[in-house]
A and B are shown apart, each in its own frame.
Chain A
Amino acid sequence: MTGGEHGGERGSERGGAIGRRRFLGYVVAAPTLVTAAQLVPAQLVPARPAAAAAPPVPEQAPELVPELGDLLDLNDLMTAAALPTSGLISVGIGGDGTVSFALPRAEVGQGITTSTAMLIAEELAVPLDRVRVTLADARPELLFNQLTGGSNTTISTYTPIRVAAAVARLRLLEAAAAELGAPVAGLTLKAGVITGPSGRSIGIGALAARAASDTTMRVRVELAPRESFTVIGRPHNRVDALDAVTGRKKFAMDLAVPGAKPTMVCRPPTINGKVGSVANLAEVRAMPGVTDAVVISTGVAVRADTFGQCIDAVRALKVSWRPGTAEGKSDASVLRELEAAELPLGIRPPTPFVEGRFTFAFRSNSALEPNCAIADVRADRAEIWSALKSPIVAQQAIAAMLGLPVGRVTVHVTEGGGSFGRKLFFDAAMEAAEVSQKLGKPVKLMWHRADDSRQGRTHPMATSRVRAAYLGETVLSFQQRHTSVSTDLGHGLGEIITALAARLPVADAGFAQTFFHLSQSMPYAFGVSSRLLSETDKGFNTGSMRNVYSPDVTCARELIVDQLAARMGKDPYRFRHDRLGDARSRAVLAKVAEAGAWGRPMAPGTAQGIALHGEYKSVSAALIEIDCRPETVNRPIRDGVTGPRVTRAVFAVDAGLVVNPRGLEAQMMGGIMDGIALALTAGLHLRDGHFLEASWDNYFYTRQWNTPPELRIIIMPSTSDRPGGAGELAVAASMAAVACAYGRATGTMPTGFPINHATLSFTPKPTVPPIPPSPADGLDHAR
Chain B
Amino acid sequence: MPEYTFRVNGAQVTVDVAGDVRLLWVLRDLLGITGPKYGCGINVCKACTSHLNGKAVNPCAIPVSALRPTDEVTTIEGLAATSGQDLHPMQRAWLEHDVAQCGYCQPGQIMAAVALVRRVAAEGREITDADLDGLRNICRCGTYFRIREAIRAGAENM
Contacts and interface: CB of A to CB of B under 8 A. Distances in A.
Interface of A: 108-111, 237-238, 240-251, 253-254, 256, 262, 288-289, 305-309, 311-312, 366-370, 415-420, 446, 448-449, 639-640, 662, 666, 669-674, 695-697, 701-705, 707-709, 711, 771-779, 781-783
Contact of B142 (A669, A705, A781): A669
Nearest to A261: B29
Contacts of B129: 709
B158 interface: no
Nearest to A660: B98
A306 B1 CA distance: 15
Contact of B101 (A251, A448, A666): A666
Nearest to B26: A306
A253 B48 CA distance: 14
Contact of B91 (A108, A246, A370): A246
Nearest to B23: A778
B57 A782 contact: yes
Nearest to A287: B18
Given A245-B106, A669-B142, A697 B18 contact: no
A442 B35 CA distance: 23
Interface in B95-152: 95, 98-107, 110, 115, 119, 129, 132-148
Contacts of B144: 673, 702-704, 707
Contacts of A244: 94, 100, 103, 106
Contact of B140 (A289, A366, A639, A777): A366
A705 B29 contact: no
Contacts of A254: 28, 34
Given A673-B144, A707-B145, A368 B34 contact: no
B7 interface: no
Contact of A109 (B62, B103, B135): B103
B12 to A, nearest CB: 20
Given A246-B77, A673-B144, A778 B41 contact: no
A695 B21 contact: no
A666 B42 contact: no
Contacts of B135: 704
B110 A245 contact: yes
B142 A671 contact: yes
A246 B33 CA distance: 12
B107 to A, nearest CB: 5
Contacts of B13: none
Given A109-B102, A305-B30, A778-B43, A703 B142 contact: no
- Top-8 shortest CB links A-B: A247-B35, A673-B142, A109-B102, A417-B104, A244-B103, A778-B61, A247-B76, A670-B142
B140 to A, nearest CB: 4
Contacts of A243: 103
A289 B104 contact: no
A111 B101 contact: yes
A417 B105 CA distance: 8
B8 to A, nearest CB: 13
Nearest to A237: B98
Contacts of B141: 109, 368, 418, 670
A108 B101 CA distance: 8
B101 A289 contact: no
Contact of A253 (B34, B58, B107, B143): B34
B21 A289 contact: yes
Interface in B43-84: 43-45, 47, 52-53, 55-63, 66, 75-77, 80
A704 B105 contact: no
Nearest to B76: A247
A417 B103 contact: yes
B28, B104, B106, B129 — most chain A CB neighbours (10 Å): B104
B34 to A, nearest CB: 4
Contacts of B25: 262, 306-309
A418 B132 contact: no
Contacts of B137: 704
Given A703-B136, A772-B42, A783 B56 contact: yes
Nearest to A704: B135
Contact of A246 (B29, B53, B80, B101): B80
Contacts of A669: 142-143, 145-146
Nearest to B35: A247
A779 B145 contact: no
B39 A368 contact: yes
Contacts of A249: 103
A240 to B, nearest CB: 7
Given A306-B21, A306-B30, A448-B41, A704 B142 contact: no
B142 A674 contact: yes
Contact of B138 (A237, A370, A701): A701
